[in-house]
Structure 1
Amino acid sequence: MRTTELAGSGPGLRVDDPATAPPGALRALLWEHGVLHLPRFPRDPEALTALARSFGEPQTVFPAGHRVPGQPHVRLQSNVRGLGANAGGQYWHADGSFVPDTPLVTVLTCDEAPDAGGETLFADLRAGYDALPGALRAEVDGLDGGFPCRRIAEQDMRRATAMRTVVLSEAERNRKLAELTDFVRPLVAAHHTTGRRALVLNEYWLRDVPGRTPEEGRRLLDLLYGEVTRPDRVYRHRWSVGDVLLWDNASVLHKALPAAPGRRKITRRITAAVRPGVPREAPGRTAGRPGPHRARPAPEPAPAAPAP
């Protein structure tokens, strides 16, 4: 197995010939570097699902119309109207952080790459936390973030209905809402395996800081995003057909850039969650603090950002 640092700045490592990696080597590299580029990894659905399963339990894609046919865990994404899920995510986020238990890892492969635009950016939440001044770091260690996800989803669905852009059936909308709640979680968490501390952020679903005025909370979150997404902490991945990326949702945020007008981008994604009965985070993650999330009504959200 041969590894090289990814070009430019930010998190990540390129792993050539990953099939030759000793057992557990990819896991160790992922927890250390946050993002792995696996250019020669097999891209058939079975191999990609097995890769995700080596980290956790592959999640079933919902709604069913976004699945690769015959592959319940593989999500088809594109900027082509009517082909799979809309390739949104053009804001800083971790996959699945609209639910309390964010997926552990994401596997993404590219089937059609634009020749202009369409890059994915990755920002290091650990480096951003480490770089905070000591007083600010201590302050953030004691704060929660409000994720009013059900309220946001209800707003989005009302907007989609009014604009006649609804893509889910009523039954699918009800199921989606039933899976969502408003919750709070600490703004800092220790990694479930390494114990390294990182910020917990999401530009769309994280709306407030309980105990702070909306203005104070917004200023603090803007400061944290600015620290995490500094150019020297961001890796910019330009996609080629056949690329496979694997990333750790506890360590990095990512953000998709739009493809240039008229260019197509088609990808397939698998997310893996913690297996039932397996502790997600190390004990004593935040001494004397509540657990990683608490379901309770969050404060009224700020005006909604553009829908993902």
Structure 2
Amino acid sequence: MTKICQLSLAVGARVHGVDLATDMSESTWSEIRNAFQQHSVLVFPGQNITVEQQKRFAERFGTLIVHDHLLPMTIEGHPECMVLHNNAQKPPGLNSWHTDNSGWLEPPLGTVLYAKITPRLGGDTLYSNMHAAYEALSPQIRDMLEGLKAVHDVKKAFGPDFANLQASLRKKGIDPNSHFGQFEPVEHPIVRTHPDTGKKSLYVSAPYITHIAGLSVLESRAILDLLYKHIETNEFVYRHRWHTGDLVVWDNRSVQHLAVADYHPQERLMHRMNIKGERPF
């Protein structure tokens, strides 16, 4: 029997009684889908699944994305599955709040991450509820943000500010400067509306954003710094301590996450899949 237990007052729920290695009934999927809309982050502990079984579950949420620049980091025959493998020779890269791939015109709906090897200590992932973050702003600030759009640029997220990411790509034969040079910046609303729930949330992904459209650099920085600090508020955050066999799926439209890079030189091995989303509105 499926049992869904809330993990924190902020965001997240743990799902018991579901074996993702087996076929899922429509009634079970309905419970999971409803829980996903309600809690935004779902944890399925103690899973023992193959890449195919992870893919089958992820495809329940939508079409999986194949990222050209990540192909050298995927499993052979499974271009949708990125291998996140860190150890003594490969320290973790990104260590900041973000939502996945916001620099694309249609960012991912969600992310499905499966823990194959976890460090003895460290390597947690933090999730912040962007619905709660929006609601906690004063009416005056919410009114000011309505209609504003932030400029997201892939080149910034894979630029010199993120040297570890650049190094990882270069080791796989991809030059970030030439590969991402073709990408044009995109504009996304700072306050976006969830297409399923209708709720409003903040959508500010710091690694990608260069400025706010129509504002000066000084004005943009003042507003963005305020929002970046705001989303870190403890009351919005759930901290997940990973265990081998955990599968976590989260909604990139309503949460931001931060993978804490505190476990080097221990080993951490994850399989990640992104679900195709829509253009934010």
CA change 1:231–1:174 in 2 (3 A) is same
1:31 pairs with one of 24, 27, 37: 37
1:267 aligned counterpart, secondary structure: strand
Aligned match of 2:242: 239
**2: distance between equivalents of 1:232 and 1:154?**
30
1:57 aligned counterpart, secondary structure: coil
Aligned match of 1:306: none
**2: distance between equivalents of 1:32 and 1:265?**
29
Aligned match of 2:17: 17
Deviating more after overlay: 219-228 vs 186-195: 219-228
The 8 Å contact of residues 88 and 265 in structure 2, kept in 1 or not, is answered as no
Count of paired positions: 272
The 8 Å contact of residues 208 and 218 in structure 1, kept in 2 or not, is answered as yes
2:170 pairs with one of 161, 166, 170: 166
CA change 1:60–1:173 in 2 (3 A) is farther
1:96 is displaced (CA, Å) by: 1.4
1:77 pairs with one of 81, 84, 93: 84
Structure 2's unaligned 5+ residue stretches are 19-23
Q: How do 1:97-246 residues align onto structure 2 when only pairs under 5 Å count? A: 97-150=102-155, 152=156, 155-156=159-160, 166-169=170-173, 174-178=178-182, 180-246=183-249
State the superposition RMSD in angstroms. 2.8
**2: distance between equivalents of 1:250 and 1:17?**
27
Alignment pair present for 1:68 and 2:75: yes
Structure 1's unaligned 5+ residue stretches are 275-279, 282-290, 293-308
Q: How do 1:260-275 residues align onto structure 2 when only pairs under 5 Å count? A: 260-274=263-277
Matched to 2:17, the amino acid is: D
The 8 Å contact of residues 119 and 238 in structure 1, kept in 2 or not, is answered as yes
Aligned match of 2:3: 2
CA change 1:218–1:261 in 2 (3 A) is same
1:174 is displaced (CA, Å) by: 4.2
2:271 aligned counterpart, secondary structure: strand
**2: distance between equivalents of 1:187 and 1:129?**
10
CA change 1:87–1:56 in 2 (3 A) is farther
The 8 Å contact of residues 17 and 41 in structure 1, kept in 2 or not, is answered as no
Deviating more after overlay: 16-25 vs 93-102: 16-25
**2: distance between equivalents of 1:198 and 1:272?**
19
The 8 Å contact of residues 88 and 256 in structure 1, kept in 2 or not, is answered as no
The 8 Å contact of residues 38 and 243 in structure 1, kept in 2 or not, is answered as yes
Alignment pair present for 1:57 and 2:63: yes
Identity of aligned residues (%): 25
The 8 Å contact of residues 11 and 237 in structure 2, kept in 1 or not, is answered as yes
TM-score normalised according to structure 1 size: 0.79
**2: distance between equivalents of 1:170 and 1:241?**
30
**2: distance between equivalents of 1:36 and 1:130?**
22
